[in-house]
Chain A
Amino acid sequence: MALKIEKTFTVQEPIERVWALLSDPRKVATCVPGAQITEQVDEKTYKGAIKVKVGPSVTDYTGEVQIVHLDAQNHEIEILGKGQDVRGRGSASMKLTGNLRALPDGGTEVASVSEINVVGILAQMGSRVITEVSNIMFGEFVKNFQAKLQQPSDAPDGQATAAEAAPVNATKLAWEAAKGLFHGKS
């Protein structure tokens, strides 16, 4: 199941500071609910894991994250992530393109395009559910991302991931997804 999700959000931080965070997969990973980077393979490649819970279905992906394109001058980054569920319940891949733009007020606009492909048990939930789950995860990500930006830059990271890597709350996710399906009628 292929999905394309385009999201734009703004943060009240200067572009270089945002870029420093966005261009470091180890740091970005700590903002993704349920995700963690476990190992750096080379300059551009990392090993990682992400746990996604939708209702009764838990999917535990492990795989690789690779920086395909990094342009510090134009503040552009393209990341390719690929993973397989540890119990063979399916696979997922994501191509994320991120783009920063400095705003006149000193803030930064983050524009992202994610192309997600999910195969397996999770994909049976249908694009309606998966899109909602992605939206919720993205919302959590933005919150974490903003919180991270507000931390002093010398705060310890990396190893803090374990605590933050708890998966998204399944019940909440399912509820949000259900609400999304009914377009807020509930």
Chain B
Amino acid sequence: MIHKTSPEIGGMGHPIKRKEDLRFIQGKGNYVDDVKLPGMVYGQMVRSPYAHARLKSINAEKAKKLPGVLAVITGEDLAKANLAWMPTLSHDKQMVLATGKVLFQSQEVAFVVAEDRYTAADAAELVEVEYEELPVLVDPHKALEPGAPLLREDREQKDNHIFHWEVGDRQATEQVFQKAPVKTSVHAFFPRCHPAPLETCGCVADFSRATGRLTIYMTSQAPHAHRTVFALVGGIPENNIRVISPDIGGGFGNKVPVYPGYVCAIVASLTLGVPVKWIETRSENLQSTGFARDYHMTAEIAADRDGKMQALRVKTLADHGAFNAAAQPTKFPAGLFSICTGSYEYPTAFCEVDGVYTNKAPGGIAYRCSFRVTEAAYLIERAVDVLALDLKMDPAELRRKNFIPPEKFPYKSSLGWTYDSGSYEPAMNIALEKIGYKELRKEQEEKRKKGELMGIGISSFTEIVGAGPAHSFDILGIKMFDSCEIRIHPTGKAMARMGTKSQGQGHETTYAQIVAQELGIPAADVTIEEGDTDTAPYGLGTYASRSTPTSGAATAVAARKIRDKAKKIAAYLLECNENDLEWEPGKFFVKGSPSTAKTIQEIAFAAYTNIPPGLEAGLEAVDYYDPPNLTFPFGTYVCVVDIDKGTGEVKVRRFIAVDDCGNIINPMIVEGQIHGGLTEGLAIAFMQQIDYDESGNIQGGSFQDYLLPTAVETPHWETDKTCTPSPHHPFGAKGVGESPNVGSPAAFVNAVVDALSHLGVKHIDMPITPWKVWNVLKEKGVA
């Protein structure tokens, strides 16, 4: 069990206030756009208005003549340096600046550099580009039809198919389906959405001709990985590249890929020898950077008449846009989508995914989700509800009947994952009890008699996070370990650096709490630094809820290495045998004599001033942690909605989130993460979509059409928890940042469908706008 430290030490479990907030609430954060260097100039992208067009000519003469303009870079210019294309994180390549043709609206066509931002923006408008329009593909189903226009002429494969990926036992699943008495299916489209972090992407590239060093301040969730990519693509020696991710204003996966703007700013700085800043506008961020989802999914469940599930079959068409720029582990083209068996025991299952190209922005990224886990959780939780409808069973009962029982953990799923730990029923019981499930069902019955619409939605999701074990997980060959280096100063204060990078998660607080827990040094005395590749140990960065499972684990292990050395020093100072010492957070004492003790601060001082013979000076350690498995957080969310028959408006009356993320580092931060994730889930379920019209024009390219939830739209969130520690993690934690975004969309949609199920409604695709609901009501003769 976790030893509870005093509030002064502030180890695990203490809801201490976030250390980073001191500067944030004073407006003293330091974001990329706050970086101002002497002689800095500005870049602006020229973007394609067409979704698919031949590039006939680019005339930059007028732009170049505008006073203050320093350069206009085109794809042809980059091609001379072999930089017109760059590799993506998914074995594909993508254009940096277009050559030959453009493949999506808002694609990068030229990069204008000027002395100030306004001149750069004006000059971008003066760049004359001649296009010849080509037939546009926006429907991924049509992309696979024979005779469909070929989008990627650069590939050897002359069609729009990117990959086919399958897992499970097709034949065994087929056999079960042939005999099963009950078969249910649902087609669920998870629309293209976008993380829309409050801070858009950007960088300042600063190449010094004097030193040959390139410093890049950038909005990066993975600074080390990006340094390596720049070294490999640009041919710059890696020791001469320094990537600095300063404060990041939200990432959610959007800041994992390398974008053309970064590369152009670097090229411009190398060419001009001055720092070049490039910052996206809001629309540029929404229209061209990593989108998420866009999965057209079908789930079929085979079951007994009494609701025991026998098999699951999933078929998905994945729309990746113009380039396969999905940011995910290399061996997993559909991410960890095969977690789609969810919280349920399926004797057999089969899952297949086909990826296709369309004339849309490239992606997709794992928006607050561990690589397609949100899609998977949504699909299975929707499908289970449809099965409940078909069987006329209570959806809670159906789940209860099929949950993987606690005694079967570690549980090997039929699609190959080994779930580390789980206990699903208690979380659901708490959620149902708190919301008053039985009473709500009675109320619903009464309301239906009066013609009023209310619904209750349940989602009992299981996540898979913390990628990941080196044997299966890598990005471009780099294994997905992560790291921590801790240095204890002579006065007993500490500095720790990690390979991850906080974007608002509160790492400066939670990592300090891990050090406090393991070494008894007060969290207030531990400074955490991330994001500077010159100082931090190598790591793959923060996404996929991996910081706690990987760097958090590395922090504990590094601290334990320090503790081992501290023990030797304590034995020397106390003139006793190491084996006679006992530890409690903050000090070693002689067994049976608690007052004969040395505090960690005294030991630290001795490490520099009174070094035991045979020991090295100093007190520091580094750990590169390769997790033995992933972690599997879970929970049950219950949502109650009321629907206005006149307007189709859905009001979330109550929402209860019961999460189990194992042992908790900081309960306040966990709660904050859950509130944030639920709010994003609400937006996805009801408000957001990056849609395209038939000509490939983006219909969600600004905040006019892509809506962000404000306090007005956001209901009151109620949270609770159970605790099932991860057996393989050094302190039993699992990771939590993504659970609410993974688990909540199904709860919202299930609630709406539940409200309308007596009218024969089985499914409604997100986003569930009032217009969509009103149309359903009208069709059913209710509105």
Q: Give the interface of A toward B (CB within 8 A).
A: 1-2, 84-91, 117-121, 123-127
Contact = CB atoms under 8 A, between A and B. Distances in A.
A90 B50 contact: yes
6 contacts: A2-B695, A88-B129, A118-B695, A119-B133, A120-B697, A124-B283
B529 interface: no
A119 B49 contact: yes
Interface in B130-147: 130-131, 133
B49 A120 contact: yes
Interface residues of B, number: 25
A119 B702 contact: no
B130 A88 contact: yes
Q: 8 closest pairs, A vs B, by CB? A: A120-B49, A123-B697, A88-B129, A90-B49, A1-B693, A119-B695, A124-B701, A89-B49
Contacts of B125: 87
Q: Most B CB atoms within 10 A — which of A89, A118, A126?
A: A126
A88 B49 contact: yes
B128 A88 contact: yes
Contacts of A125: 704
Contacts of B130: 88
Contacts of A87: 125-128
B764 to A, nearest CB: 22
Contact of B693 (A85, A89, A91, A123): A123
A85 B696 CA distance: 17
Q: Most A CB atoms within 10 A — which of B49, B51, B105?
A: B49
Contacts of B105: 120, 124
Nearest to A89: B49
Contact of B694 (A2, A88, A91, A124): A2
Contacts of B695: 1-2, 117-119, 123
B699 interface: yes
Contacts of A121: 49
B61 interface: no
A118 B699 CA distance: 13
A126 B705 contact: yes
B706 to A, nearest CB: 11
B34 to A, nearest CB: 26
Nearest to B696: A119
Contact of B697 (A84, A85, A88, A124): A124
A85 B705 CA distance: 24
Binding site secondary structure of chain A: mixed
Contacts of B131: 84, 88
A99 B131 CA distance: 35
Nearest to B55: A88
A157 to B, nearest CB: 32
Interface string B284-298: 000100000000000
B49 A86 contact: no
A1 B705 CA distance: 15
Interface string B691-727: 0011111110110110000000000000000000000
Given A86-B128, A120-B697, A124-B283, 20 more contacts: A1-B693, A1-B694, A1-B695, A2-B693, A87-B125, A87-B128, A88-B130, A88-B131, A118-B695, A119-B696, A120-B49, A120-B50, A123-B693, A123-B695, A123-B697, A124-B105, A124-B697, A124-B699, A124-B701, A126-B704
Contacts of B126: 87
B122 to A, nearest CB: 11
A118 B695 CA distance: 8
Interface in B69-126: 105, 125-126
Contacts of A86: 128
A120 B283 CA distance: 14
Contacts of A2: 693-695
Nearest to B109: A88
Contacts of B127: 87-88
Contacts of B702: 124
Contacts of B705: 126
Contacts of B50: 90-91, 119-120
Contacts of B701: 124
A58 to B, nearest CB: 9
B697 A1 contact: yes
B145 to A, nearest CB: 21
A91 B133 contact: yes
A85 to B, nearest CB: 7
Nearest to B130: A88
Contacts of A124: 105, 283, 287, 697-699, 701-702
Contacts of B129: 88
Nearest to A2: B694
